[in-house]
Amino acid sequence: MSTLVLMRHGQASFGAARYDALSEVGQAQARATGQWLRTQGVQPTAVLHGPRQRQADTAAWLLRDAGFELRGVEHALLDEFAEGEEIFSTAEQLLGRSMALNAGRERIEILRDYDATCRAWGNGEVDIPGRLSLVDFRAQLREWLNSHSQAQQAPGQTEWVVTSAGSIAALVCEVMGLPNASWYSLLRVIRNASLTEVLYSKGKVSLLSFNGVSHLPAHLNTSM
């Protein structure tokens, strides 16, 4: 058997001019994960990551602090379903109010609108311009998972994949055979730098664990 560990990137810069950058907390989460991995005495066969800067940087900090002589390998299909700025823009069109943090609204209100827009996209109630629907997004990740599982025939391998919450939720739906309606319920609970384990064994793919954060100190346990 072999294992695929899906890691959500560290905390990004929610509400900043550029979402796709790790915050200081995000860097600390990636480093803490690398330090934890080093103590486990197990070196991944490979570390893969999506094309976003926050995904690549999480992988880089992880590898540096783990002390592994590996280079992260980018996989374009491990991209998120949309960028923060795109979701903000869609939310403004959908809900008719500003998503700017400097517009006098409370952060919690903006987070609720952000979540509502993600849920609406997942339910097929709104399109994000230039982005796939959830049906097509899942199909893309299903193709990646199937091709990757076929290549994972050698026993004892452990690969790490640094991607985003939407991708992890979609992959878990694929592994578990869950409907699209389950995607948002998974998305909203996935923590920054959390670990989800997928097991390959005798041609089957199974979920071993979901959204684990026990490797992080309590002060680095965040969701956004």
Q: Round to the nearest angstrom and report the end-to-end CA distance of the chain.
A: 33
To which H or E segment does residue 41 belong?
none
| Pair 192, 217: CB distance under 8 Å | no
Going residue by residue through the chain (224 aa), what tens digit of pLDDT does each one get? 789 999 999 999 876 667 899 999 999 999 999 999 999 987 899 999 999 999 999 999 999 999 998 999 999 999 999 998 899 999 999 999 998 877 778 888 989 999 999 999 999 999 999 999 999 999 999 999 988 876 665 677 899 999 999 999 999 999 999 999 999 999 999 999 999 999 988 778 999 999 999 999 999 999 98
Query: Residue type at 218?
Result: A
CB proximity list for 203: less than 8 A, separation 6 or greater: none
The C-alpha atoms of residue 223 and residue 199 are separated, in whole angstroms, by 25
Structural domains for the chain: 2-80+133-220 (3.40.50.1240), 82-131 (no CATH)
From residue 38, alpha-carbon distances to 43, 63, 66, 76, 209 in Å are 8, 9, 5, 27, 20
Question: How many Cβ atoms sit within 10 Å of the Cβ of residue 177?
Answer: 7
To which H or E segment does residue 212 belong?
strand 204-212
Give SS3 for 11. Answer: coil
CB proximity list for 173: less than 8 A, separation 6 or greater: 138, 179, 180, 182, 183, 186
| Pair 50, 74: CB distance under 8 Å | yes
